[in-house]
Structure 1
Amino acid sequence: MGFFSFLKKQNEAQAARPAARPRPEETSPPGSPQFTETERERQREIARATAAKIDAIELEMTTDMFADTEAAWGSARRAPAAAAAVVEAAAESELATLADLPDAAAAPASAPVVEESAILYANGQAVLAEQMLLDSLPVLGRSERQPWWMLFDLYQAQGREADFESIAIDYASHFETSPPAYTERLPQDMQAKPFAGVVPSARFPGMLDADAALRLQGLLAAGGAPVRLDFTGIAGVTAEGCASLLSTLQGLHMAQREVVLAGADGLIAVLRPMLAIGERTGGEAPWLLLLELLQRLGREKDFEETAMDYCVTFEVSPPSFEAGAPARADAGVPAARVPGAATEQRFLLPLIVDGDVKPLLAALDAYAGADPFQPVVLDCVHLARIGFGAASALQGNLCRLAASGRQVELRELNHLVAALLRLLNYTDCARLYAHKY
């Protein structure tokens, strides 16, 4: 059945069916007395069923569009499993890259509850902030996504996956969108000894080939700091480039160093078309690199499916998925720049910024002074909370840098911190980039 035939039949069936009269509880907002836990579970089931129907429609549409083309070419080539999900993720990543501006969604309506809960959280009163945000969902949460995003980040910062998943289903049902995924913001073994300082970085736009080996070797020699690899804009890879990157990732893993992968979905999307079950002409390196990336990203299901395809192709035992692969960073002096690397050096902020921040500000000044012609980029991917006083002190440093003509950016902010910084008028001296849901 074609896609349009499917829609036509659905419309005819709906037209023939008498309109159902909504029950009183169906029109009640979340949080009202009529909105019981049973009703909440019913809406969750509706959301799951709707998602399943959308998947079925997309699958049928894809089959109708491409079945004839594949038959005409007579191709017997079969791509490895789980490719469709990765291609979709890569497309979303590309759209996010094209729209790499201060996120419009990160500047919501100036609702008092957003500002007040951000202040409470900054002052260590997470319980009150959570309750205020939950109470705002039946009214503010009807039209604004910001209180939902702030709750998601609060639950992620506290490691409350069950609570995150619970409101994610409600969020998906209310806004008719895919639910966000829970992500561990900081590995457990790093929380006791978080790193703050310059992160050695290397960017690989264009082609990942044998010439990348020198930059990758520099990263291995950069000490015990975390490492950031940026594949945003990657266009192609060679077997030699795959082997070099695989060796580097394995070396960093053996050294128990944290690796931040930017644009990883784009690299995965480039690797997938190179691999076909039963074809060995490209060698094992692209397959093993793909498996290493999936391991790093924690995508166990995709890993297992790709590992089986690798096993069938090369007739060897596949690698095993390691849950919670070690990724530890030792605090210390900021690492030096990587020789010969095309880099965007970032200053990684720790898990909590509060209390006496003078050592942190001194390290930040050293980072900014090392290259006065480059943007000052603060990486907030691990930052869970910044105290109100600490935020004011940091703002003084950043305003001074901005006044001297430096471009200042804060990247990967969680939405609780982003709301606080907007309240403090950080946008007068810096560009704020909240992470996306």
Structure 2
Amino acid sequence: MVRAFQPHPDLEEAAILFAHGDLEGARTRLLEQLVQSLSATPRDEDKVCRLWHAMLDWCRATGDEDTFEPLAIDYAEHFGRSAPLWSSLPARLGQTALAGAVRKDPGKRQFLWSSPALLTVGAVTALRASQEDAPQPWCMSWLRLVAIDDAALLPLTRLCTAWADSEGQFVLSDAGKLLQLLEQQTPVGESHRPAAWWLLRMAVLRLVHRMDAYEQVALDYCVTYEVSPPSWVEPACHCIVQEEGEADVSVLHEASLQSVQAGAVLPQEGAAPGAMPVGQGLAGVIEGDAQPWLDALGAQARRGQVLEISCANLIRLDFVAAGSVLNWAAEMQNHGHELRFTQLHQLVAAFFHIIGIHEHATVQAVAA
């Protein structure tokens, strides 16, 4: 039986920071959480082990042997067993150790986000973090959305409100999936349901400039909870909405189009030096469009056989690359293929879960 990776919630923030190139930020967060876990009473040894292993994986992924050695010695003393062996992923690929922040100019690629089936707090955090550093227009697809975790309602409401208050340009494809879900979760007169769903629905309607619908929902909210609803405030953002299918970004102002065209990623740009698509797996630092890698992998797929994708040499993917992998995995699943991503280090494996790749493929991490 294949054992799938189950991420610890405390890895999410560090995984997001790492994916977006803030290597020092991820390191700091992991060390803070490790120290807090070691000091906790009672101590959760499973949590300590997961965080410690993630920190060791961070060292190997970045090639930081100086930090790895004392951590490995302390690990062995604490758990009474050998620590994972030292191995530098950059060195395997003929590269030097990574600097504290390895980030491409965000103006070089277009922002494309695809909602996972279950939208969690981690997914909202990842969306916000990636969108903040990306160029406009910000394109989002809601095609795969099925449910929103209750804990994600408030963060998503705040994010939609901030977007509406900004002067940003948003492009929403298959937005009907989001609007229908919110409508289903806000039946009039059922005050036992969380009001957070109503507040999110009004925030989304404001984002997409639907004042009439907002006013009706606000009235229904008032009737249901017998409290005054938030007043309509004219949004400052520009938003293109397509309820079914992909929105046409070409209707944006010409200046926006030039920004998008400047962001087009050349096929080879997603691969780090020393790591190019070869068909067996994913490797190096993959930023932007991961399609060259996925095309090479897809050529190996056979129906009825599990396609194992080795990630033993994968250092990190950014949000855009992970989105490409998510879309590809979903498409492969729809065509009857079974995928298995193997030998991921803890931070990338956790990021795969945040993005939603585990919903369409088995994700396996290197054992602690």
Q: TM-score, normalised by structure 1?
A: 0.38
Which structure is larger by alpha-carbon Rg, 1 or 2?
Answer: 1
Q: TM-score, normalised by structure 2?
A: 0.45
